[in-house]
Amino acid sequence: MKLGLLTACMPERPLEEVARWAGANGYEALELAAWPTIGDRPFTASHLAADAFDGRERERVAEALEGNGLTLSALAYYDNNLHPDPVERAAIHAHVRACVDAAAALGGVPVGTFVGRDPGRSVADNLREAERVLPPLVDYAGERGVRLMIENCVMEGWHPDGYPGNLAYSPELWEWMFDLGLYLNFDPSHLLWLGIDPVEALEPYVDRVAHAHAKDAETFAARRNRYGFFGRLSTRATDPWEMGWWRYRIPGLGEVDFRRYVDTLYAGGFDGVLSVEHEDPVWGGTPGKVEQGLVLAHRNLRPLLVA
């Protein structure tokens, strides 16, 4: 197992600079953010131009990675594949396919995305719609030797009332995804605040984990007593991501048992990349703080991995 990081936490830096920093600070792999260059959604970046991928871009990416002793673990484009606007949905699907093409040219690494949700329709209707629109994307990826994987992020900010905006947040839904040919980019942090033991949830499904995230979460029981499980409502219009009673943390600074988590991955035969996804507000806000957070993550995780 290698230790890597998702580059979305460094959106202001070019890939070459991110790769130099990662290699110099002991990381072994990069999960490259590959969102379109248009847009400014938080926690996104464009370190690989999937929508303009050609031989020159392939060479640029390969040189940045190989020149710093890094491997490529995955491409990251997490968007709403069930977007209610048909024009927007078509554009998202086109970019997923562009990421698949780039991943195939770069050795067949997995591509990460979301199932998503149309918040105006029921869960049952969304699942039936997903069964219609996702298999063609799975087939497109499979024909090119690429695994399409879904992260189990709740994406509560996509729903006006803070309900799950990505229908991939529980083991029940993973089994449904696997039937469609999708794989899992496993992230323990989302399960923790949902009240699901991340390690117990992971154990039966390690063979369907194509990639693994390292992100922690911290909960505050007293605040949950005030706001309830579904989170703060009074400020949701200004910040749909602020639930009020939990927050993401650097691995080792929250409540996920990373020793058990890593051991369960090893026990299940996982030999891929454990990729740090840095969304910790304590160690964010400036490039320098982000770097410090990533150094802490490396310090906490490296002793758990076989050299």
For residue 145, the surrounding DSSP H or E stretch is none
| Rg, C-alpha atoms of the chain | 18
Give the pair of three-digit tokens for residue 131. Answer: 């069964």
Mean pLDDT across the chain, nearest whole number?
A: 96
> Which letter, b or e, does each residue of 30-62 get, where b requires 16 or more Cβ atoms within 10 Å of its Cβ?
bbbbbbbeeeeeebbbbbbbbbebeeebeebbe
Q: Which amino acid is at 51?
A: D
Which CATH superfamily groups domain 2-219+250-304? Divalent-metal-dependent TIM barrel enzymes (3.20.20.150)
pLDDT at position 225: 96
Helix (H/G/I), strand (E/B), else coil: 264: helix
* Cα 125-186-275 angle, rounded to 5 deg: 135
Q: Which residues pair with 211 in a beta bridge?
A: 185
Q: What mean pLDDT do residues 3-21 have?
A: 97
Pairing of strands 148-151, 209-214: unpaired
pLDDT at position 64: 98
Query: Which residue, 105, 19, 104, 21, is CA-closest to 70?
Result: 19
The per-residue pLDDT for range 230-279, each reduced to its tens digit, is 999 888 878 899 999 999 999 999 999 999 999 999 999 999 999 999 99
- pLDDT band per the 50, 70, 90 thresholds, residue 282: very high
Strands (E), the chain: 2-6, 29-33, 71-80, 111-114, 148-151, 183-186, 209-214, 216-219, 246-249, 273-276
- pLDDT band per the 50, 70, 90 thresholds, residue 40: low
pLDDT at position 39: 65
Specify whether the CB–CB gap between 280 and 250 falls below 8 A.
Answer: yes
- pLDDT band per the 50, 70, 90 thresholds, residue 55: very high
pLDDT at 296 over 70: yes
